[in-house]
Structure 1
Amino acid sequence: MTQPKFSIGDIVHHNRFDYRGVIVDVDPEYSGSEAWYEQVAQSRPPKGAPWYHVLVDGSMQSTYVAERHLEPGDSSQQIEHPSLGQFFDRFDGGRYHLRRQQ
């Protein structure tokens, strides 16, 4: 297994579809269905490498993205997404920090 390059709270840029987002979960390898992979993952990224759940900036969408399509994003600007508060409680000017469990 490959060590993930990104962590929860990191801001990333999708280098194929040109959007920013924030990582909310990391899978050490692909964990979706075979049907989804065949239908959606048209570039056939490796299943044995890390995949990320990402909230898309300026959208209500979240995506599931292979690591090879992500690069570090501009972390000086916050992400705008209605679900941010479900995952994070603060932004420190570089990354988001997970909400504390109460």
Structure 2
Amino acid sequence: MSMRQAKFTIGDVVRHRQYGFRGVVFDVDPIFSNTEEWWESIPEEVRPHKDQPFYHLFAENEETTYIAYVSEQNLLADETGKPVSHPDVPSFFEVQANGRYVPRDQQVN
């Protein structure tokens, strides 16, 4: 199984290709690293391949905020420039004036 370079990095704002929810990447798994039960709960016709990066997101939709685990094939860069309002974002990220999300433990003073 070959590993691909992740397309997105921690702090990137992305949106789901099919479901439209948005989120900030807070962790990246080089390949699938969730439970078999979780993977099998996805309908087979849309189930992603395991040999691609998967992203942990502070996600939001019109109704709520939550944590999402999404395959790279289902994500696009979010170009709206709108902030993500997930309540955990301020604990993990510093939001810069240009809208970039910088992990708090990687800030340069």
What TM-score, normalized to structure 2? Answer: 0.83
Gaps of at least 5 residues in structure 2 are none
- After TM superposition, list the pairs within 5 Å mapping 1:1-102 onto structure 2: 1-40=3-42, 42=44, 43-57=46-60, 59-100=64-105
RMSD (Å), alpha carbons: 1.7
Q: CA deviation at 1:20?
A: 1.2
Q: CA deviation at 1:41?
A: 6.0
Which structure has the bigger radius of gyration?
2
- Aligned partners of 1:9, 1:23: CA distance in 2, in Å? 5
Contact 1:78 1:91 survives alignment (8 Å): no
Gaps of at least 5 residues in structure 1 are none
- Aligned partners of 2:97, 2:49: CA distance in 1, in Å? 33
Contact 1:9 1:24 survives alignment (8 Å): yes
* Aligned-residue identity in percent: 39
Q: CA deviation at 1:19?
A: 1.2
* 1:47-102 residue CA offsets vs partner (Å, 9 max, x unmatched): 0100000111353311000000001002521110111122112234242000127x
- Aligned partners of 1:100, 1:6: CA distance in 2, in Å? 19
Give SS of 1:40's match.
coil
| Gap change, CA 1:41 and 1:87, over 3 Å in 2 | farther
Return the letter of the residue paired with 1:61.
Answer: Y
Return the letter of the residue paired with 1:8.
Answer: I
| Gap change, CA 1:24 and 1:88, over 3 Å in 2 | same
